[in-house]
Structure 1
């Protein structure tokens, strides 16, 4: 095989940012040239961004993408560039990779399989291409081949599988490419981040290189492109079932250019990080991109001193720390459009103070422990910290209702109402602070609470963005212990000493989250089977009774409670603030799990549990 130097380029793009997207691509091409790359592959839909949603359905949007491609051609002198974009042909839109060689467009490869599971909805926008089919496409008065194509460069025969194409087992295009005796397969992807997903990718790429007897190069998009999905910017190269190169995931940079020689030797080998590291890195990058792309000036957080809000506060501080470490102080501030001059040589805390404003909103049911937990954590991170009480507002609302209905409200008769009014009374004033700061209000809901509706609508669910809504509470509690030690966040010691509680009932009633619901460890097991695996209540009982140590009667009651609360609270999940997809599944009806707002609530299925002895 002739010598060939390839480059895999990951880019952080944004839908409708035509100028920015174009500049990042051309800057990356220039860097690839400096690194002596001869063949460059960008990710799937790099020209427009993958998250363009129904813009793909319009006539003008794919046309403009092709116009951007034409503008790109002059920048490809003495280099071959493969770049992804949508192409409309009559009534159909195709997800394609365009190949430019030395300032000439030589062909389009079209994606053959659409991703339709989980967060993906590609059949709404794109039409699958047929294997072995090639047509002529008119581009600037010239006919260009379009379809299932392969190419040659310096004696190297190469082809493409576009993202989902590679995940289709025995019908995937790679087998056809093997029959055509390609030496190299590129996989330009827009594959959403999920914790530990890199292990699946690595296994697939190694399998592909061995099965197809070729070099297999994978390149993914980067960053929080359009709000919910985060792309990790992973680059992999494999041969004969071995990984030859892997970059570090979740960079804060605009783009990364990683070059490889087509030689069967290890060339770059970043370590695979633990799940806890991936969580904080992805969340930090997601917050950074959301902040700068929304052109907001910072974050506001109702800091209760509990696990959820404390997790989010630490994630914002880590965003600052990691951003400065990778980009440098000046670039970090420039990207956030911050006109800020640090006063010390250790500016991290100062910048956290500029970006994160917190408030402890106490009531007569709040404890000194949670106040101190919130205050100490904010001080340790450098965040602005305010505190006030909302008893006056709660009393005002309560007295008005009592006068209207002609009776006093009591905890024995009106428990949920009296809890919810406290949570809701916190919302208007914290929104005022967000508005004053032109900042994003961070909602503190987690996935476990979203499952069962253990959150007050227009209370603790209020916010512009909900960073941890896709992560279960059991993981959060574990992560906080890890973060205190591994991220050197001593302020978390106060949080980690507390038992999770909403603090909405009088203190003498000793309210805890798990007493209200069930152990978080049990919620995790039920939701994985019910939501991720789509199992019935009966299936879940039969599986879990063998796996966890609980009396069968107790387990049945937990399963019933989960499904009843799940069904009853779908309307809440429909209204949650946008959240990042961080785990293998989530409960956001817009991006992963659709469920009817109105239903029979599994009544028949739950009755069957009682029939088992």
Structure 2
């Protein structure tokens, strides 16, 4: 919790025993990157020499009959065990506090953390606990927040207890519970035995740094009895990435729903991977709610009764029935495409109607599997009215590119459909259940496709398998017998390539030149340097043109640092020179240099000569 001491505000872990505050431990290393800006609010504690007396606020002092409390960096020495706090980010700093505290004899570390969920991140966290206790001995007690923080993050719990590098207790990573307790029985003698057997530990402890402590005349350990059973090492429980994709956002959506006061969600379905994935996640959320109720969670039960408007003592017992109460899906399609505003191009009506009918049927099946209240809406009349208005105002008739129109006309006609769907979705959401969030905003297309395959089997939504296998398309242009719109063709790059670009740009902070170099190593066996260079320049050109749109994206669930949504995670500027004159010129220079090297190597190889290894040389590579 926050404490103001003097003129500074500190982020602190408060250690209490029997209605008394034993110690206030301010955080020394603050998280100030990625999703966190702790330095915006707090000051890091820098005085490591001694503990100071902190005057408690009057209302707390009166309630606890306690005037002052030790404040600062140190540890607590009980009669039978030494305990210290290591707060959140400090564990992951280059020189974590536990490294010196173990030399002072501290056996138990308490870490009260706020660590958010991110795909494949749990292993990193657990390896840090295991490493902290494996070579130094000791017990690590890790408690973590669980639930939505009212923003993009979901804190994924998984509280655990680690003994000498072994996990002996592990809580759930994804749960609808408000509180979860993890318990283990451990033997302190095992720590003393390990530390006493390591000579280097003894030597380093003999010149240990000065760290202040508080003596508390209290025993925490139980006496030895035959009835005491020590906790054995467990096999660490990990979720697959597909399970993380559905359980993390699913729990986040439930927290959002029960805390926002909304009565449900509305989702426009297009038949593509993205909207279908969101539908599956909401369907799984309903399954989690019903499961929690069946296991006796009264808080989830009360929330579900309120949100689902259940009456007469009824409560959700079936996920589909609950979905019908809180989840609306809508398909907004076109039955016809107008070549001219006054005439229907009859030759094109039937193929498009067939395609639309197939999508509509597919989505009805998905909605039935999930249990959502599904609407099938035609937006033909609205599109036709807008185009007619445009023709009245300008006398112009924009055409799709396949009908001879320009790129600008083609884009404008597509945007009309997209914007109409958006406006209609918001109207429906304001009259039906409302929400404006994105549960899959930072999940890559590859991970989503793997998730759809998994969900088709494990969530019981079998129609997702057919959706996953369909080529991605925005379906904003008219279908012809010799033409259908595909996302990857429109973008000029494959989704697999886009994921690579996005990771290099976001996670590894690559600019054009460093991305070019990385991709030359990665793709050098299948693409020439010139081809790699053109791909990199193409990506950065459109990255720059569209960068400003990233600042106004719908708030999305943060699943990994790959996310394009930058309001919280990526604070770099959104205005770039789309021509990247220096960087692109440098790429061209490198391409010329690399092409020259390739020619030289080819000429040398074709000359018939071969390097000679000098007789008796110690280096077998000389001359090759």
Could you tell me the TM-score, scaled by structure 2's length? 0.77
Q: How does 1:231-242 map onto structure 2 within 5 Å?
A: 231-242=155-166
1:439 aligns with 2:456: no
2:301/2:315 contact within 8 Å kept: no
2:386 matched to which residue of 1?
Answer: 397
* Partner deviation per Cα, 1:86-131 (whole Å, 9 max, x = no partner): 1112331111111111111121011100111211111111111123
Shift of residue 410 of structure 1? 1.8
Aligned partner of 1:129 in structure 2 is 45
Query: Residue 22 of structure 2 is aligned with which of 98, 103, 106?
Result: 106
* Paired position in structure 2 for 1:493: 465
Residue 353 of structure 1, CA deviation: 0.8
Cα distance in 2 between the residues matched to 1:535 and 1:597: 15
8 Å CA contact retained: 1:233, 1:250 = yes
Corresponding residue number in structure 1 for 2:621: none
Given that residues 246 and 269 in structure 1 are in contact (C-alpha distance below 8 angstroms), is that contact kept between their aligned partners in structure 2?
no
Matches within 5 A, 1:279-358: 279-328=245-294, 331-336=299-304, 337=306, 338-340=308-310, 347-358=318-329
Structure 1 contact 87–94 (Cα < 8 Å) conserved:
yes
Unaligned 5+ segments in structure 1 are: 1-84, 441-463
Aligned to 2:419: 424
The answer to whether the aligner puts 1:273 opposite 2:262 as a matched pair is: no
Superposed CA deviations along residues 450-508 of structure 1, whole A, max 9, x for unmatched, are: xxxxxxxxxxxxxx101111111122122111211232221213312321100001112
C-alpha distance after superposition, 1:248-288 (max 9, x if no partner): 21111011011122236426655112111111110110100
1:502 aligns with 2:435: no
Corresponding residue of 2:75: 150
CA-to-aligned-CA distance 1:216-236 (integer Å, 9 cap, x gap): 121111011212110001212
Q: Which structure: greater strand fraction? A: 1
Conserved in 2, the CA contact under 8 Å of 1:108 and 1:149? no
Aligned pair in 2 of structure 1 residues 344, 176: CA closer, same or farther (>3 Å)? closer
C-alpha distance in structure 2 between counterparts of 1:301 and 1:433, whole Å: 10
Moved over 4 A (4+): 267-270, 341-346
Structure 1 distance, partners of 2:238, 2:269, is 33
Match 1:173 to one of 97, 107, 120: 97
Partner SS for 1:144: strand
CA contact (8 A) 1:247 1:268 kept: no
Match of 1:45 in 2: none
Is the alpha carbon distance of 1:212 and 1:181 closer, same or farther for their aligned partners in structure 2, counting shifts above 3 Å?
A: same
Please give the secondary structure, in 2, of the residue aligned with 1:402: helix
1:94 matched to 2:64: no
Partners of 1:300 and 1:434 within 8 A in 2: yes
Does 195-204 or 258-267 show the bigger shift? Answer: 258-267
Write the mapping of 1:159-558 to structure 2, written as runs, cut at 5 A. 159-170=84-95, 172-263=96-187, 265-266=231-232, 269=235, 271-328=237-294, 331-336=299-304, 337=306, 338-340=308-310, 347-363=318-334, 364=336, 367=355, 368-411=357-400, 412-413=405-406, 414-440=409-435, 464-508=436-480, 509-517=483-491, 518-548=493-523, 550-552=526-528, 553-558=530-535
What displacement does 1:546 show? 2.9
- Distance in 2 (CA, whole Å) between partners of 1:105 and 1:99 is 6
Secondary structure of residue in 2 paired with 1:468: coil
Q: For each residue in 1:278-310, what CA deviation from the matched residue of structure 2 results, as whole angstroms up to 9, or x when unmatched? A: 111101101000111111000001111111111
CA pair 423-393 structure 1, distance change in 2 beyond 3 A: same
Distance 1:607 1:418 in 2: 36
Q: Distance in 2 between the 1:118 and 1:356 partners?
A: 33
Which residues of 2 match residues 7-46 of structure 1 at below 5 A? none
Number of residue pairs aligned between Structure 1 and Structure 2: 505
- Which of residues 559, 563, 583 in structure 2 aligns to 1:605? 583
1:87–1:585 CA distance, 2 compared to 1 (3 A): farther
- The structure having more radius of gyration, on CA atoms, is 2
**TM-score (structure 1 length as normaliser):** 0.79
Flag structure 2 segments of 5+ consecutive residues without an equivalent: 191-230, 338-351, 593-624
Q: Report the Cα offset of residue 345 of structure 1.
A: 9.2
Q: Distance in 2 between matches of 1:381 and 1:603?
A: 51
Distance in 1 (CA, whole Å) between partners of 2:364 and 2:314 is 23
Tell me, yes or no, if the aligned pair for 2:171 and 2:180 is still in contact at 8 Å. Answer: no
Structure 1 stretch 310-319 or stretch 524-533: which is displaced more?
524-533
> How far apart are residue 244 of structure 1 and its match?
2.2
Change (3 A) 1:584 1:234: farther
1:327 and 1:129, CA in 2 relative to 1: closer, same or farther beyond 3 A? farther
Residue 331 of structure 1, CA deviation: 4.6
- 1:520 Cα deviation (Å)? 0.8
Report if aligned partners of 2:444, 2:562 keep a CA contact under 8 Å in 1: no
Give the secondary-structure state (helix, strand or coil) at the position aligned to 1:597: coil
362 and 160 in structure 1: CA distance in 2 versus 1, 3 angstrom threshold:
same
| 1:527–1:507 distance in 2 versus 1, CA, 3 Å | same
